[in-house]
DNA sequence: AGCTCTTCCTGAAAGC
DNA sequence: TGCTTTCAGGAAGAGC
């Protein structure tokens, strides 16, 4: 399930291998994988890939032809991957797009997404601006402590807020659980009730976990692979995600719990008590 | 505004 | 064994 670290690793591999490449063709396995801009598909052949960036959990490819820039945005959703041919997948029928390049030395790029949560968008400059403005809040890696504190000044529950892409773009369920555990904060504490010490902890932990996860190549839970087929090994550093019933890694004596009512929150009832947060 | 619920979708795993 | 059901998950939209 690609979140910020996995999208970052994906974007950096594409950048390293594809910047400067000229697109020969974009072939779609199914039209409904394109959320927006399907009619502009024929513009892309002949364009040069100038840059690859991550925004939130998405990968944005900047393409240029003559003086015009257009953008291919790949939302990875839950199961979406961008892959070079060396990366083999178990269900090849779920390859929904293939981008080929004029230089035969450049490996074609596949967009593979079995569950199809996540789409491709083909956008022009203003379209990209609208897309980013509508969907993505601040970036967790660059947000300042002060900006984060402002964002938390509300009555919403902390974990859903951390995962709300229009507020902070890039954190999903796995990293939200890990961040809250290491910050010692209950998933359902009201964000506006955090002390300034708790906000500091949250800011530090959020950035250090995400950076460490990027260094590890992301978390390969189920079917995540980087474009070259390599697995991320941050999963080995997970402390609470999918560890319900195991003893708290802080050795506090409590057992990791899973909250039933919502999308699986894993937490230590002792180290992440609501009292500690406020 | 901010919840919850539903929809999308497929493979894995659990239940019978 | 073999079928059916449930679940997982991100995001968007409906409804309260």
Nucleotide nearest to A173 (CA to C1'): C9
Whole-prediction pTM: 0.93
Report the pLDDT averaged over residues A234-240.
90
3-state secondary structure of A277: helix
Are the C-beta atoms of A122 and A40 separated by less than 8 Å?
A: yes
Residue A5 above 80 pLDDT? Answer: yes
pLDDT average, residue stretch A134-141: 90
Distance of alpha carbon A235 from alpha carbon A231, whole angstroms: 10
Which ranges constitute the DSSP H helices of A168-253? 173-183, 196-215
Residue at shortest CA–C1' distance from B3: A156
Is any atom of strand B within 7 angstroms of residue A116's beta carbon?
yes
pLDDT at A277 over 70: no
pLDDT over threshold 80, residue A1: no
In this prediction, residue A10 carries a pLDDT of 94
> In the numeric block, which tokens belong to residue A61?
């490819």
A29-33, A198-202, A217-221, A259-263: least confidently modelled range: A259-263
| Model pLDDT, residue A215 | 94
- Any idea which nucleotide's C1' is nearest the CA of A56? C10
Q: Which of residues 144-163 of A touch strand B (CB under 7 A)?
A: 154-157, 160-161
From the Cβ of A115, is strand B under 7 Å away? yes
Residue A219: pLDDT above 90? no
Q: Count other Cβ atoms within 10 Å, centred on residue A31.
A: 9
The pLDDT, as a whole number, for residue A69 is: 96
| pLDDT for residue A259 | 80
Q: Is the dihedral of CA A93, A96, A102, A106 positive or negative?
A: negative
Token look-up 């991550």 returns: A54
* Terminal Cα distance for chain A, rounded: 31
Q: Which nucleotides of B are covered by protein (CB under 7 A)?
A: 1-4, 8-12
């Amino acid at each position: 399930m690609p979140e910020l670290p996995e999208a970052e690793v994906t974007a950096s591999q594409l950048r390293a291998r594809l910047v400067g490449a000229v697109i020969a063709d974009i072939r779609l396995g199914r039209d409904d994988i394109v959320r927006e801009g399907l009619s502009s598909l024929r513009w892309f052949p002949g364009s040069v890939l100038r840059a690859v960036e991550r925004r939130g959990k998405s990968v944005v490819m900047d393409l240029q032809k003559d003086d015009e820039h257009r953008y291919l945005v790949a939302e990875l959703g839950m199961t979406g991957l961008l892959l070079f041919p060396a990366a083999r997948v178990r269900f090849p029928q779920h390859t929904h797009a293939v981008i080929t390049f004029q230089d035969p030395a450049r490996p074609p790029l596949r967009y593979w997404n079995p569950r199809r949560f996540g789409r491709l968008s083909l956008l022009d400059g203003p379209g990209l601006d609208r897309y980013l403005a509508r969907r993505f809040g601040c970036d967790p890696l660059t947000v300042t402590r002060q900006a984060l504190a402002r964002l938390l000044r509300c009555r919403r529950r902390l974990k859903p807020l951390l995962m709300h892409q229009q507020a902070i773009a890039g954190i999903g369920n796995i990293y939200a659980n890990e961040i809250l555990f290491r910050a010692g904060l209950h998933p359902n504490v009201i964000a506006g009730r955090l002390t300034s010490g708790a906000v500091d902890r949250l800011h530090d932990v959020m950035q250090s976990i995400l950076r460490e996860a990027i260094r590890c190549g992301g978390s390969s839970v189920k079917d995540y692979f980087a474009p070259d087929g390599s697995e991320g090994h941050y999963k080995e550093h997970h402390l609470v995600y999918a560890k319900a019933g195991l003893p708290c890694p802080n050795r506090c004596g409590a057992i990791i719990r899973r909250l039933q009512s919502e999308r699986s929150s894993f937490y230590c009832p002792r180290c992440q008590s609501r009292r500690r947060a406020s």
